[in-house]
Chains A and B, each alone.
Chain A
C-alpha cells in the first residue's frame, strides 16, 4: 500500500509565507519581459544582462513582422521565406527593474534595420523557486 504524502500536494502549507514580502504579490509587482531578437544578437543580450541578473530562458522561434518576405527560386519555382528564425528571451523581473532591463536589451539587440524585433512586458502572477520553496519577489 502506498501512502500519498499530503504534504507535497498542499502547496500553501508546504511553502508557508515567511514574511510580508514573500506573501502572494500578484501581477503588479513582477513582470515577464519577452524579447524577440535576431539570432546573432543573443550573445550581446547575454553580456548586457550579466550585471542586471543572469536568469533567462531562451527559445528558438520563427515569426514575421514587417521584415521583407524573402522569395527564393528552387528548381525553377518560387517559394517564400516568410517566417524567419528569431530568438526569444524570457526574463521575469521586479516591476521597478523593467525599464532598465528593457533598455539594456534594446541597446544590445538593435542594428537599426527592419527585423530587429520587439519586447513585450506582461504581468506575472506568482513565482516559486523550486529548490527552496521561496515565493514572490525573493524567488526572482
Chain B
C-alpha cells in the first residue's frame, strides 16, 4: 500500500513541503522525510484550543519529530484506527458489565424482601464465578478457533478449532487455544476477552431471576462454575467462534450462515432457556399455586425494578453498538438508534397490551418487562434492519412478552418470579427469527465468509430465514438439554432447592446469615 501511495506521489511529482522543497525529479519512498505543513508549534506555550497540535502528536511518534516519514504516517494512521476500535470495544464492555447492577436491581425488586440478601448475593457472585470460569477455559472454548481479530489488531493465533467432518463438511465444535489466556498475550485478544466475558455474565445472571426465592445458594454456586466454562461457550463457539452454525452459509448455502449480531440467542435465549429448565425443575414457590389457582406474589420494590430496567437499557448501548468491535465502523449509530427504538416500542406495546387487553391498569412490571423484551429482540438483528423494522420488532416483542409471561405462569404453571423466561427466552428467539425476515441487505457483506450482505425474506432471500430457524432450534434444544443434565447433576450432588421452612422464613438468614434490610431481624 505504501508503494502505491509513493508512486502516486511520484506521478504527481509535486512539492510536498513548504519548508524543505524537494527537487522536482527527486525519488520518493516510504522513508522520505515529510515535514509538517505548519511550522512546528512551541509546545512550551499552553494550547487552549488544541489547534497547534498536529503532526508532532502522532502515535507512535516519528523518529524526527519535525519530519515524519510516509511509513511513520501510515503506521500512525493504522495504529489510531485500531486504537479507536480498542477504546470503543473496552468502553462498551464496561457498559455491559454495568448491566450486572441492572439485573441485580430488577430481580431483587420483583421478589420479596425476605430474600433480598440471597437474590443480591447471587447476582453479584455470578459475575465472579462466571469470569473465572471464562478465564480458565470458557474463552478458549468459545474463541480459540476464531482465526483473526481484524478490527483489534489482527492477531491470528486463535486458530485452533476442534472440527468434525460430517457429510464432507467441516463442523466446528469447540475452540482449543487460549486456556487462561496462555499463548494469547496479545492486546487485541485481551480486549476481546473482556468484551465477551461480560456478555457471558449477562447470560449467566438471567437464570438467577427465574429461579429466585427457592434456589439453594450452594447449588447456584456450582451452576456458576458450569455456565462460564462450558454451557455458554459451547453454543457461542458455534455462532461467534467460527463453529458450525456460522458456517451454514459456506457449507450449505443458507444465507450468511446463522447470524446473531449481539446475542439475542447466544446470550438471551440461552439464559432464558436455562432459567426455564431450572424454574421447572425447582418447582414453584410455596404459595404460588394453591388449589389450582394462580396467586400473585407482588414485588417488594418497584423503585428497584424501574431503576434496574433503566440501567439495563443504558448498558444495552454498549451491548449492541459495541458488538461491531470497531468504533470506526460507523454503522454504530444505526445500531444504537435501532436499539433505542425497539426498547421504546416494546415498552409502549407491552404497557398498552397489559392495560387494555389483558388487564385493567397500567402494570409497572410490564412497563419494565416490555422495555427489556424490545431490547432482547433487537439484539440479534440490530445491525441489519432499518428503523421501521426496529420499531416493528420491538412492538411485537412487547406484545409477545405479555402473552408469554401469562402463558408460562398460568398454563405451563412454571413459576418465574421476574418474567425472565418470557423476556429473554421467548423474545430472544423472536429476535433472531425476525432477522431472517427483516434484514435489509445494507450491512454485513462477507459475514461468516459469505459474500453479499445479510438479507432477509422480505428483501428477497429466504435462505437466511432457514439458517435462522436452524440456529434458534439448535439453541433451544442444546440449551435445554445441557441445563437439564447439569441441574440434575447438581440436584443429586447437593440438592437444588431449599427446605420448605427455610423458604417460608426467607432465605436471608438461613442461607446467607444476614438480613437484607433490617440487620438480620427479618426472621
Contact = CB atoms under 8 A, between A and B. Distances in A.
11 contacts: A43-B287, A72-B509, A72-B513, A73-B513, A74-B514, A81-B509, A81-B520, A81-B523, A83-B521, A85-B521, A85-B522
B359 to A, nearest CB: 24
Q: Specify which of B504, B521, B522 lies most central, judged by the most chain A CB atoms within 10 Å of its CB.
A: B521
Contact of A70 (B287, B504, B509): B509
A72 B505 CA distance: 15
Contact of B504 (A40, A79, A83): A40
B284 to A, nearest CB: 16
Interface of A: 40, 43, 62, 70, 72-74, 79, 81, 83-85
Contacts of A43: 287
Q: Describe B's contact surface by its main secondary structure.
A: loop
B504 A72 contact: no
A70 B513 contact: no
Q: Specify which of A40, A70, A73 lies most central, judged by the most chain B CB atoms within 10 Å of its CB.
A: A40
Contacts of A84: 521, 523
Interface of B: 287, 504, 509, 513-514, 520-523
Nearest to B514: A74
Nearest to B295: A43
A73 B509 CA distance: 10
Nearest to A111: B501
Nearest to A115: B523
A83 B521 CA distance: 7
Contacts of A40: 504
Contacts of A72: 509, 513-514, 520
Q: Specify which of B287, B514, B523 lies most central, judged by the most chain A CB atoms within 10 Å of its CB.
A: B523
Contacts of B522: 85
Shortest beta-carbon contacts, A-B, top 4: A40-B504, A72-B513, A84-B523, A74-B514
Contacts of A85: 521-523
Contacts of A62: 521
Given A40-B504, A74-B520, 20 more contacts: A43-B287, A70-B509, A70-B523, A72-B509, A72-B513, A72-B514, A72-B520, A73-B513, A74-B513, A74-B514, A79-B520, A81-B509, A81-B521, A81-B523, A83-B521, A84-B521, A84-B523, A85-B521, A85-B522, A85-B523
A74 B522 CA distance: 15
Contacts of B514: 72, 74
Nearest to A75: B514
Contacts of B513: 72-74
A79 B520 CA distance: 9
A127 to B, nearest CB: 33
A84 B505 CA distance: 11
A70 B520 CA distance: 10
Contacts of A74: 513-514, 520
Contacts of B523: 70, 81, 84-85
B426 to A, nearest CB: 32
Nearest to B519: A79
A84 B509 CA distance: 12
A54 B56 CA distance: 85
Nearest to A43: B287
Contacts of B509: 70, 72, 81
A70 B287 CA distance: 26
B239 to A, nearest CB: 44
A14 to B, nearest CB: 40
